[in-house]
């Protein structure tokens, strides 16, 4: 057991704020706000930047979900841009093997883990289509201007500090299998690491800057139907990825208005598609059945109610939406929240699925590809079984909450199967416990995500852990560390329409996550 604790203060500012798992991406979004862009513009610019400075988590080879609150109409909208299986997918290419797969889900094992690793694991990416649709519907800036910061970052490369080196090292064994990936992330066969008392080395992703320049100049449609699509398809074919021109031409992101649902005196808005949103609604609905008095303080009874509500929600999820009993592995997902001075608010989750996705980077375009086929159950006849041209179930859960006070909160998390547990508890901390954003982010959490196990943060009071152990037969504790993150990696941003001020709080134990205001006179709360 380690004996340490980390505090990360929330940031309050007049106007807007960007909260991201990487400070450079947050700074990119904040500059867009300062130059007159709205929250949607800033989120898109920050998202593209994340794909460069945190490439193992997301990028244009991935997908995402976005929730948008518009101040002018006081309405919420969802933008869905998940992955799709190619029309070329053949179920017989994924023969079942002994055991279970090696990543986020405990589906039956597949030969050579080909649904998790390498060319057979890749699905049609939706990221470019999704952010382009969000810009068209809700943004104000030019497409080129929002991609340009990512181009500059790609040309200069990212710094392989100790945290980045740790991320690369965690996947080095798989990255070595693919020459294009190893040449970038494992130069000379080794994890890039700085020498004692020297600056960390710089990692440049070959081809990515060129790809982003073409994407910026030719527009998002070029990725699916233009010259960039030809480059992409040629690159895919060179490494054995079966994506067809028709897969790109027919891909469409979706947007729709969200009605939201009530939780106590708050209103919660989350996408309703194949994501974590329906499970979150079921978990909060179950928790709402407990009288408010039962949730009056963060004691053992309260945490038992949280655990029981999450267990109920995941039992339904696994029966009707999928059949995955295990959520123990880490994921490659990132989340950001944005508010602007007008009161627009964005919650955006984007992902490659596993860390480094398929582990396969396209050799010419420099695009690191997702492993979206992992989200399908390879066993036929199940609610989420693998089929051609199909969208799989995901765990992403970007949320916006209208608080009883009128504040608009954006929150979400990365962390695979642990996302819903984390987001549900944060909402309850804010609504039921009346915690400040900073206090909610530091409050210890539990995880119940369909494995049959309740995992509790060892920082919880001993009386709480004793109550949980009595209530749940499969109970264990763990310390919430920097890596891996056993209780997900959440963040929150909130806008107060009365004071016109924003508050942001980033994932506490990450050395890179930060809340960055659009103006320099922010104050620490």
Cβ-based neighbours of 250, under 8 Å, separated by 6 or more:
none
pLDDT score, position 322: 43
Q: How far apart are CA 132 and CA 130, in angstroms?
A: 5
pLDDT score, position 251: 97
Residue with tokens 């392989």: 160
pLDDT score, position 321: 57
Residue 11 lies in a domain: no
Question: Domain of 473?
Answer: 36-63+81-157+204-255+272-330+352-389+425-484
Q: How many domains does the chain have?
A: 1
Degrees to nearest 5, angle at CA 29 with 25 and 32: 145
Residue 225 lies in a domain: yes
> Closest Cα partner for 348 from 44, 126, 36?
44
Alpha-carbon dihedral of residues 234, 48, 416, 4, nearest 10 degrees?
130
Q: Which residues of the chain have pLDDT under 50?
A: 322-330
Residue 358 lies in a domain: yes
Q: How far apart are CA 156 and CA 246, in angstroms?
A: 35
Cβ-based neighbours of 402, under 8 Å, separated by 6 or more:
260, 266, 267, 269, 408, 409
Residues facing residue 496 across a β-bridge = 501
Active site amino acids: 333
Residue 148 lies in a domain: yes
Residue 400 lies in a domain: no
Cβ distance 419 to 488 under 8 Å? Answer: yes
Residue 234 lies in a domain: yes
Residue 165 lies in a domain: no
Q: Is 454 helix (H, G, I), strand (E, B) or coil?
A: strand
Residue 4 lies in a domain: no
pLDDT score, position 146: 98
10 Å CB burial of residue 477 (0-12, 13-18, 19+) is middle
Q: How far apart are CA 458 and CA 310, in angstroms?
A: 19
Cβ distance 445 to 425 under 8 Å? Answer: yes
Residue with tokens 């390879």: 378
């Amino acid at each position: 057991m380690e004996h340490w604790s980390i505090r990360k203060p929330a940031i309050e500012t007049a106007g807007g704020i960007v909260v991201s798992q990487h400070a450079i991406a947050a700074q990119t979004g904040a500059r867009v706000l300062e130059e007159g862009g709205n929250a949607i513009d800033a989120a898109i610019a920050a998202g593209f930047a994340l794909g460069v400075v945190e490439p193992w988590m997301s990028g244009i080879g991935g997908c995402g979900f976005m929730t948008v609150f518009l101040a002018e109409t006081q309405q919420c909208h969802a933008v869905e841009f998940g992955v799709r299986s190619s029309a070329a997918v053949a179920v017989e290419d994924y023969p079942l093997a002994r055991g279970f797969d090696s990543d986020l889900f405990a589906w039956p094992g597949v030969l050579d883990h080909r649904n998790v690793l390498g060319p057979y694991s890749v699905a049609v990416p939706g990221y470019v289509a999704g952010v382009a649709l969000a810009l068209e519907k809700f943004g104000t800036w030019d497409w080129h201007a929002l991609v340009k910061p990512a181009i500059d970052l790609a040309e200069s490369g990212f710094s392989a500090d100790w945290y980045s080196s740790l991320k690369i090292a965690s996947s080095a064994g798989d990255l070595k299998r693919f020459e294009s990936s190893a040449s970038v992330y494992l130069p000379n066969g080794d994890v890039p690491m700085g020498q004692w008392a020297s600056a960390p080395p710089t990692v440049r992703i070959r081809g990515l800057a060129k790809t982003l320049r073409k994407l910026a100049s030719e527009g998002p449609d070029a990725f699916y139907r233009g010259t960039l699509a030809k480059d992409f398809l040629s690159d895919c074919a060179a490494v054995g990825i079966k994506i067809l021109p028709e897969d790109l031409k027919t891909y469409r992101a979706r947007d729709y208005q969200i009605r939201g649902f009530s939780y106590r005196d708050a209103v919660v808005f989350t996408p309703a598609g194949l994501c974590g949103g329906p499970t979150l609604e079921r978990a909060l609905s179950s928790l709402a059945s407990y009288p408010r008095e039962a949730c009056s303080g963060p004691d053992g009874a309260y945490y038992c109610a949280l655990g029981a509500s999450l267990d109920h929600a995941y039992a339904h999820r696994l029966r009707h939406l999928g059949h995955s009993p295990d959520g123990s592995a880490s994921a490659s997902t990132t989340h950001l929240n944005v508010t602007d001075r007008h009161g627009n608010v964005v919650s955006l989750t984007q992902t490659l699925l596993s860390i480094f996705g398929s582990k396969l980077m396209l050799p010419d375009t420099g695009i690191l590809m997702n492993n979206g086929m992992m989200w399908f159950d390879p066993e036929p006849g199940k609610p989420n079984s693998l089929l051609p041209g199909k969208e799989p179930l995901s765990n992403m859960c970007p949320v916006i909450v209208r608080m009883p006070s009128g504040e608009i909160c954006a929150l979400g998390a990365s962390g695979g199967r642990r996302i819903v547990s984390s987001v549900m508890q944060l909402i309850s901390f804010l609504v039921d416990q009346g915690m400040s954003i900073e206090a909610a982010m530091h409050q210890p959490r539990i995880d119940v995500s369909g494995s049959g196990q309740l995992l509790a943060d060892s920082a919880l009071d001993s009386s709480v852990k004793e109550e949980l152990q009595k209530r749940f037969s499969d109970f264990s504790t763990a310390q919430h560390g920097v890596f891996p993150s056993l209780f997900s990696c959440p963040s929150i941003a909130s806008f107060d329409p009365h004071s016109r001020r924003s508050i942001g709080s980033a994932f506490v134990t990450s050395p890179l996550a930060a809340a960055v205001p659009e103006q320099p006179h922010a104050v620490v709360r």
